[in-house]
Amino acid sequence: MKAETVLGALADATRRQVLEVLAAHPGASASALSRQLPISRQMVLKHLGVLQDSGLVRSAKAGREVLFQVQSAPLSETADWLSSLAAQWDSRLADLKSRAENPDVRPS
Amino acid sequence: MQDTIERSIAINAPLERVWDLVTEPGWWVPSDTPVDSNRGAGAVVVRESEKWGRFPVEVVEVRPMTYAAFRWSPTFPGDDLAPGRTTLIEFTVTPTDDGVSVSVVESGFAKLDAPDSVKAQGIESNSDGWTQQLEALRTQAED
């Protein structure tokens, strides 16, 4: 199975729409989702596949149908990860500022 | 969710000094040994420390006194630079009343290959309470 990153999965606008509609309709089938979207059931399934590869969606069989649900943990994990990267940059920039403003101080 | 990080800082120091610091390739990642770096576009400088690992940094573009862009692999330490494994870091230096403003934009996270930890986890498609939930839903719907 191809591993997809959350950000990679969310890079497509239509895919983001699929995720939003699914979030509003937990346990929906691909057919039900395509009725809410301007794309075919096949395209919905394709996008759901990518979302599943990233861990954002999971599926389960219920009788003859396959139903889908959003998993929010990867979203919040990714948001946390980006926040920590931003904080890292703040720290590096603060260090840069310190070195620029105090050139005679030896770096630690 | 954007695949870009943007931060900035105000620095009270001469533009030339800030420019000199910002254009050292990989200045933001520790190096145990001083690196005499080529700073021209295309140069690849390796920053290495025992604590943080080995990070090659490529100089992408430099516009004197204004803009410097680099490429590196933040999520694949030790690897050589390869497509699908790098982000772009762009620094812009702007004069202000009190000195300069330095902004950084790091982008390209959406195009990164999933790190090995993600691949190792795999995605579980069967589950626990989820199946029971669905059964309950189906039962309800069929009433």
Q: What are the structural domain ranges in chain A?
A: 6-72
Closest-CA distance, A7 to chain B, in angstroms, reads 4
Between residues B81 and B90, the one the model is more confident about? B90
Q: Measured at the alpha carbon of residue B127, what is the angle toward residues A44 and B119, in degrees to the nearest 5?
A: 70
**What pLDDT, on the 0 to 100 scale, is given for residue A57?**
96
* Phi, psi dihedral angles at A30 (to 5 degrees): -60, -35
**What pLDDT, on the 0 to 100 scale, is given for residue B113?**
75
Nearest to B17 by CA among A107, A102, A106: A102
pLDDT above 90 covers a percentage of chain B that reads 52
Closest-CA distance, B134 to chain A, in angstroms, reads 6
Q: What CA–CA distance (Å, rounded) separates A73 from A77?
A: 6
Residues of B in contact with A5 (CB under 8 A): 109-110, 112-114, 118
Q: What CA–CA distance (Å, rounded) separates A15 from A8?
A: 10
**Is pLDDT of A10 > 70?**
yes
Domain A6-72: which topology?
Arc Repressor Mutant, subunit A (1.10.10)
Q: What is the pTM of this model?
A: 0.80
Q: Which residues are CB-neighbours of A64 under 8 A, at least 6 positions away?
A: none
Q: What CA–CA distance (Å, rounded) separates B36 from B59?
A: 14
**Is pLDDT of A78 > 50?**
yes
Q: What CA–CA distance (Å, rounded) separates A60 from A71?
A: 13
pLDDT above 90 covers a percentage of chain A that reads 81
Closest-CA distance, A44 to chain B, in angstroms, reads 18
Nearest CA in chain B to A66: B134
pLDDT tens-digit series, residues B96-138? 998 999 999 999 988 887 665 544 443 333 334 454 555 555 5
Residues of A in contact with B124 (CB under 8 A): 58
Domain B4-113 has CATH 3.30.530.20: yes
ipTM beyond 0.95? no
